[in-house]
Structure 1
Amino acid sequence: MSHQTGIRGNNELISFFGKCRDGQIRVFRVSIINEELSLNEFAKKQSNWEEDFDNLIPFLLEENQPAYLLFRFDSQNSLGYEWLFITWIPEHAPVREKMIYASTKATLKTQFGTGQIKEDILGTVPEDLTLKGYLKQKRNAAAPAPLTMAEEELALVKKTETNAHIGYDSKHQTLSGVAFPIAEAGLKAMIDFKHKSYSYVQLSIDMAKEIVNLENAEEVNVHVLGSRVPDDHGRYHLFRFPHSHEGDFLESIVFIYSMPGYACSIRERMLYSSCKGPITDLIENKLLIQIDKKIEVEKGEELTEEFVMDELHPKKNLHQPKFEKPKGPPGRGARRLTNQKPQEHV
């Protein structure tokens, strides 16, 4: 999910939007200046759009400075001329600049009017934003995209994880042995977790629809892990814990089942408990994610770094005291030995 920066177009830019639709302006550049979207430069139509593409756009690109360019085609739709939205984020631009421009893109498109934007392309090197580079991107977008490794795994799991006794549809993947399907978003998030796109995935059970949903997938560290545990509902958590132990760097996978005791209904506790086994089976045997430790907690406060470390690497008790003979009862005094001959009986 993309997060907006709150940066919006200033009055000059908004006013220019209304003036640039008469067919005279061919291309203009928008930059983020003083936390505002600002009109930076523009060029008028000189020829047809194909010739203007290579004649005008290269002169609006700065080597290491991101920007947005809006280029007008000669075609029109019911709203007016159609435009190409170009995001220029050069490879060697500062990381912070890249993030800000990527996060503000949606705002600019909305303020300009998405109905008039025919296409959207990204340029990271000048060759991307030549006419030849644009046409190449257009051909690549039209071609069926090759499956990524994660997508191939998702397709394989869908193919193998069928269940003859429980229905299957294209939206949900059924967990073997349990009449609760897992939403495809949850399955994909766990595959992405396997490929280290995330360090944390949280799953929940929709009690009304009786499906397992994805609640969250993100990068978290062990210090904020406990804050992700709700105190009023059960959850399943998959967490990658990078740490050092006895001189070795490890990335341990921890499966956490959280259930806040009697704050939940009996039905919720039973369902979470009965679905736990099939979910871990799916993770380990279908997705081939090795779980190093399974943990159960009631509250997020329990998930401290020390607690997780102790669960993964239990401390060994190296001091084993020798067995000591128990002491006798107090006040008995010193033990005396007597050597008396037995009396003879007459």
Structure 2
Amino acid sequence: MSHQTGITANEDLLNFFSTCRNGSVRVFRITIEDEALQLGEWQPAQGSWEDDYDCLVLPLLKEKQPCYLLYRLDSEAHGGYEWVLISWSPDDSPVREKMLYASTKATLRKEFGATQIRDEIFGTVQGDVSLDGLRHHRKSATAPLPLTSREEEMQEIKKQEAGVDIGVDTKHQTMAGIAFPIVPEALDAIKEFAEGKLQYVQLKIDTSAEEIQLGSTAATLTVTNLPSHIPESAARYHLYRYDHNYEGDFFYSVLFIYSMPGYACPIKERMLYSSSKNPVTDLLENVLNLVITKKLEISEGTELTEEYLLDEIHPKRNLHRPKFAKPKGPANRGAKRLTRAPKDSLGNGEP
């Protein structure tokens, strides 16, 4: 896929991308020169990321000179450190340069690895990209969206209805799912999975205790060995991080897999797992902030092949659509009927 500007990282910058992930580099500057993304100044880590931020970031910002900064945090996810992408574009810099940097940022994200970038901030003055600016950005990103007067009114009505007594004639919505509690051991494993410390986590429902427990975990697990973790006679939920290359890019795809081996399971178990699936994924995504790339349902582990996972995550587009074929008329419909009377020898037809 072509980029908007056609500007890509030069070889030195690409090599630096590979070496800066070991934790020794705290921040580095990237500029556009000679129609390429080039490495500028960089600084090593000295203290915690908060202590280093202002004293290392702000000196790298030049007047009238747009640039990018990549700042390494101390937190880890997807098997590596998390980074902050800072786009610096002073108001008094040339308009052409500001447009060039704005349209090249997507290329930089892709070549560095978008999964490692936790935050992106943009600034025209130093206060926008300072530590206080970053904190304000994070606070704004997590704040609830403002409500219209109509939405506030409806929210207040729902609060008032919450305490209404329910009688035999009361109508209510059908239960969307059963939310069983997750034991602390399983929650800890999910958090380690989100931090990149585990590649696989299996969850199971204890029907007698009515809680979700930890089945098993694996720090590393290849796709070839993944089917061996799928029980043949019991239902399970699985979290798996599928690390793979596709069309020259490396992806960390988080998969939620619901395995149900058909009628080999008791009917009660099938109903509980089916009813609990949505509450579990809702907890993972909205409470634990786990970004799930794809949700899969399988009946046996042998379905989980490399080809199957790639087709599910990167579906192929049908670029050659068949042309519309005019349908044929009914068979044996006889000779075509004349719509006009035949002409006589003088060329006159019947009216």
Q: Shorter-chain TM-score: what band?
A: 0.3 to 0.5
* Structure whose CA Rg is larger: 1
- Structure-2-length-normalised TM-score: 0.45
